[in-house]
Amino acid sequence: MSATISFTLSEEQQMIQQLARDFARKEIAPVAEHYDKTHEYPWPVVKKAQELGLTTMNIPEEYDGLGLSMFDECLVNEELAWGCSGISTAISVNSLGMLPILLSGSEVQKQTYGGRMANGELCAYCVTEPEAGSDVSGIQTTAVKQGDHYVINGSKTFITGATNANFYTVLAYTDPELRGTRSRYKGMSFFAVDRDSEGVSVGKPFDKMGQHASDTAEVIFENVKVPAANLLGEEGKGFYTAMSVFDHSRPSVAAGAVGVAQRALEESIKYAKERVSMSKPIWQHQAVGHKIADMAMNIEAARLLVWKSAWMEDNGIVDKRAAAYAKGFAADMAMQVCTDAVQVFGGYGYMSEYPVEKLMRDIKIYQIYEGTSQIQRIIITRELFR
């Protein structure tokens, strides 16, 4: 991607965006309500997404993926989340799961797991634990070296895609003695672990507030033997890989928040044109019209932050603030926009037969996963005063 800044999408980017937009409108939006109510995993939609390569967006072409840039990935994720962020997450979480392999894996590992993804497999990212969310160094899972393999013990929770994944990328302490010390960040390592390995068990999907189409569950590892060849990168460098994963994943997650907010805006405009109060459409009442104008302004601001962070990532410009600005602002903005959309709809907005009720439930998680809004502010503050 050129280092020259332009706000005009290239012909190829427009094609990618249109592909995702058509998929969201034809394949996702029409079934979003069904999967929201049934909590079923959207296999038919996911399989169609696999056929288009949407589960291998960030995997380079030489490893059988689409090889999209971060900017392209953000264009796609905004459109898919417009359709349904739960179904979008079920599709895009595979890119997250593959990141430790793409960032730290060997050529053989990239070829192996890239090929498996291209052949229809799914993966999930296993870092969060019952006692370790924002504080990654608080994980308790261990991986002890025994000859030519490691033995993994521990449990991961809130794992998106856990129940349907064929393999996991798992963070564990390979040097448990460093836990709780100043050197704790040097004691963790990443592994690729097959779902069908003896000792791996997956709990029932959690009953969540929103994103019902995206499965989230606990994964337990009990004396799981993993070949030493499944170590991703150098032993002891796992924490740094995890931090790099966040830098790579936050722009695309922020793009998803923008997509949900854009949907809320469009639904609000449509309703405000149709709903009449005091003999005129409600958008003509300043209280409503200005609220929708604020929604539009903030969505545009968030989209530009996302585009900038993605552009910087693609051009190798290292600045952790960019991704934190995008993720923090987009998540908080989208939550406010969806809340305002419910207000625009009034009593109807509180009813599940209207779309904004679902949008408001779905969007809340964006302020929590991939680094809470509070964590983004910690990152920004640290970088400003570094």
Q: Which residues are catalytic?
A: 370
Query: Which stretches does DSSP call E strand in 94-205?
Result: 123-126, 142-146, 149-160, 167-173, 188-194, 200-202
Residue 227 has a CB neighbour count (10 Å cut-off) of 14
d(CA 321, CA 259): 22
**The token pair that represents 118 in the structure block:** 């291209």
Round to whole Å and give the CA distance between 186 and 189.
Answer: 9
What is the full DSSP assignment across 22-82? HHIIIIIHHHHHHHHHH----HHHHHHHHHHTTTSTTS-GGGTS----HHHHHHHHHHHHH
Residues 83, 35 contacting (CB under 8 angstroms):
no
Contact in structure between 113 and 123 (CB atoms under 8 Å): yes
Query: What are the residue ranges of helices labelled H in 275-346?
Result: 286-314, 320-345
Rg (CA), the chain: 21
Helix, strand, coil % in the chain, rounded to nearest 5? 60, 15, 25
Half-sphere exposure of residue 165, counting CA atoms within 13 Å on the CB side? Answer: 37
CA distance 265 to 277: 20
75 and 17 Cβ atoms separated by less than 8 Å:
yes
**Alpha carbons 88 and 34: distance in angstroms, whole number:** 15
| Contact criterion met (CB below 8 Å) for 360 and 338 | yes
Distance from C-alpha of 54 to C-alpha of 81, rounded to nearest angstrom: 13
